[in-house]
Structure 1
């Protein structure tokens, strides 16, 4: 018996759904006080105002940060740009974070989210897979983003399984639940 999985949306409709649903953004925790920690807290609590982005920039310009905290601050600033759909600026911040400390999975997952926003789904998959491989603080968001990218390349089966994985990792999260309602599993 063969199982067949189909998304209920065509590519154009899926692209619209991706934009409406938004990508999941993974911020990085920076501790130790100072501006970089304030930037981290702002990113982790969903802030995107330019004043918080400026806080991140000031931290990068004036504070002596470890390579992890410097990369994390670039990631957090990029996350704020993602929330404002500033894909290119966000991508630049994630690129710098990867140059500073290339083993932070969040940099890759978030750069993948920026690529989703630009409808560059294949590139997104490469980055998100790398981020998952390296490990991230919030893996459910990585699987959710990868599901969005799979939908973008019209791989409904992989998208379905990643939405399921995101929901398994974070059962109270509504976004994967909502996305899963669009799928139909049939046997033949």
Structure 2
């Protein structure tokens, strides 16, 4: 079940088959210059070497506010995830979190990268942090945590996470498809 693809508007998530996920996950960078260009590349929904280079130039050559610097790390991480370079993406998300520990979407994307790296227990923790920080895309957080929980064998938690994702975004087909694989069986009372 590995190989899930999920990107959080300028903040990306990558891994399982996420079907049609709303593509607004990047973190907006205000102003002009390489940081803004990096955001635009991340928003397009695919990796590109020029996009990654733009992000790197913004981080090394542009005077960014701490918030824009954190957002640029997230956006570069998204581009790395599109390129399936999950280790580099994870490094960028961790840099963003170091700069701005309250950036919930960095934790969601970190969780997705961790799922893709097979580090599911860490993913559950990262997603929990994103939810505590009130991520703007909780449906993605619950769905991703559902995947991680399922990979860990925590079926009840996975089921509940998929249900919550459906409750938050009923038109999103992927969590619905995951739920259809479950059968709720009453406990045997003995």
1:142 CA displacement: 1.1
1:23 CA displacement: 4.1
Give SS of 1:172's match.
coil
1:180 alignment partner in structure 2 = 179
Q: 2:171 and 2:31 mapped to 1: Cα distance?
A: 31
Summarize the Cα distance change of 1:18–1:79 in structure 2 as closer, same or farther, 3 Å threshold: same
Q: Is the 8 A contact 1:94 1:110 kept in 2?
A: yes
Q: Deviation per CA, 1:99-150, whole angstroms, max 9, x where unpaired? A: 1111101122211111111111111111111111112222211111111111
2:5 alignment partner in structure 1 = 22
Q: Is the 8 A contact 1:29 1:44 kept in 2?
A: no
Q: Compute the RMSD of aligned alpha carbons.
A: 1.6
Q: Is the 8 A contact 1:146 1:159 kept in 2?
A: yes
Unaligned runs of 5+ in 2: 8-12, 14-24
Q: TM-score, normalised by structure 2?
A: 0.83
Q: Deviation per CA, 1:145-184, whole angstroms, max 9, x where unpaired? A: 1111111111111111111211222222222122222111
1:93 alignment partner in structure 2 = 92
Matched ranges for 1:48-67 at <5 A: 48-67=47-66
Task: Report the number of matched residues.
Answer: 171
Q: TM-score, normalised by structure 1?
A: 0.83
Runs of 4+ in 1 over 4 A off after TM superposition: none
Give SS of 1:154's match.
coil
Q: 2:153 and 2:100 mapped to 1: Cα distance?
A: 33
